[in-house]
Structure 1
Amino acid sequence: MDADRLARMDALLDRQDILDCLTRFSRGMDRFDRDAFLSAFHSDATIAAGSFVGGPVDLYDWASAMHEAGQVATHHNLLNVTYDIDGDTAHTETYYLFVGRNRDDSNWIAGGRYIDRLERQDGAWKIALRTNVIEWSGTAPTMPIPFADVEDIHGNGAPSRSTEDPSYQRPLVNRRKKHTP
């Protein structure tokens, strides 16, 4: 294989490892999975998010308490990602869409960008510095959650902000009865 192709493959692997890191942050926050969340950051990282500025452990404690008090569910959706990789340092800009189902049954939505500096240490990409640029926020009309009245809707597991969520089940199996409405 020629050198240019190998270099491109290395770049793709770096991009994928960085995207996996960014995804661990979102999943960790939404599932209240502290280990997954913290695995996205170097232990001495600095994060500026809303009124918070500090390290990853304190961020997790602050953000999980805030989301637990305010919402019954959250989705930190990652959208477009741009990468600027130079050796063992990368800068990314990740557009996001946050959606939260508030405890009063209203829906909060916000959009912005995570701007990160990541560093590869011991072969692993992790966030060293993050700033959160919030660009808009609002509420969406509330509607009933679809199919909530289906008898076995949670037969494969109920959504959970913990490792009890169906996404952690291994192997994933179907426990619901076959049904065509």
Structure 2
Amino acid sequence: MALTSHQEQQLQILLEKQAIQELIHAYCNAADRRDQDKMRSLYHPDAIDDHGGFFQGLAMEFIDRLPDIQAPMEILHHNVTTVNIKLDGDYAEGEVYVLAFHKVKTDGEPFDLLIGGRYFDKYEKRDGVWKFSHRAVVADWVNVHNPSIVDLNSPIVEGSRLGKAGTDDPSYEFFSLLRRGQR
């Protein structure tokens, strides 16, 4: 059975949106694993990133500063929920809801920061690949626990793999296809 032209068009839209969804998820993984090579591959060279008080400017400069921005973060955990994407040829826009958990070390006790927010994204498909051309972060609500309530020494997780920032994360030993630095 051959597809109608309408079905082919709908299938193409679905494929384009899936590619953008994979880009969005790759961003979360790159941020949480502190994989700057992977993060760089997600943005066009002239892309803009607006992370409010942390940074506003060229995304590549933001990525250069990420090690310092992320240094006090003992845990980063980005979770994407609702994703709304609209396509117009090789340009698209997305409003992406995110829950971003941070355990932040300080000179005293660490504290937890849970942000409910959204990414306002602009994407462009260049040379057949969707990447961010502009990302702006919006905070809708914030929940702070000071001191932190995270307890990775609890007996309930004893013997479990524990996530870590960078190359010490157990995912790098476990996976052969999901590699560091790759989309």
Shift of 1:167: 1.9
Q: Please, which of 152, 159, 168 is the counterpart of residue 159 of structure 2?
A: 152
Shift of 1:146: 5.3
Instruction: State how 1:25-174 maps to structure 2 within 5 Å.
Output: 25-51=27-53, 52-69=55-72, 71-103=73-105, 104-140=109-145, 142-145=148-151, 148-149=154-155, 152-154=159-161, 158-171=162-175
Identity of aligned residues (%): 28
Query: Which residue pairs with 1:175 in the alignment?
Result: none
| Greater relative contact order (CA < 8 Å, ≥ 6 in sequence) | 2
When the two structures are superposed, what TM-score results if normalisation uses the length of structure 1?
A: 0.83
- Residue 79 of structure 2 contacts residue 98 of structure 2 at CA under 8 Å; is this kept in 1? yes
1:143 CA displacement: 3.0
Measure how far apart 1:63 and its partner are: 3.2
CA separation of 1:144 and 1:28: change in aligned 2, threshold 3 A: closer
Q: The residue matched to 2:61 in structure 1 has which SS?
A: helix
Q: CA RMSD in A?
A: 2.0
Distance 1:171 1:30, change over 3 A: closer
Letter in 1 for 2:159: D
Distance across 2 between alignment mates of 1:163 and 1:146 = 19
Shift of 1:24: 1.4
| Count of aligned pairs | 168
Q: 1:18 offset after TM fit, Å?
A: 0.2
Unmatched segments (≥5 aa) in structure 1: 173-181
* Secondary structure in 1 matching 2:166: coil
Distance apart, 1:46 and its partner CA: 0.8
| Contact kept in structure 1, 2:90 and 2:124, CA below 8 Å | yes
Amino acid at match of 1:28: A
Unaligned runs of 5+ in 2: 177-183
Taking a change above 3 Å as real, the CA distance of residues 144 and 76 of structure 1, as seen in their structure-2 partners, is: closer
SS at match of 1:163: helix
**What secondary structure is seen at the aligned counterpart in 1 of 2:159?**
coil
* Contact 1:24–1:39 (Cα < 8 Å) also in 2: no
Report the secondary structure of 2:46's partner residue: strand
Confirm or deny: 8 A CA contact 1:112 1:133 kept in the other structure: yes
Cα deviation digits, residues 36-79 of structure 1 (max 9, x gap): 1111110110111112111222212323312212x201112111
Q: Any conservation in 2 of the 1:147–1:153 contact (CA below 8 Å)?
A: no
Query: Could you tell me how far apart the structure 1 residues matched to 2:150 and 2:8 are?
Result: 51
CA distance in 2, matches of 1:10, 1:163: 36
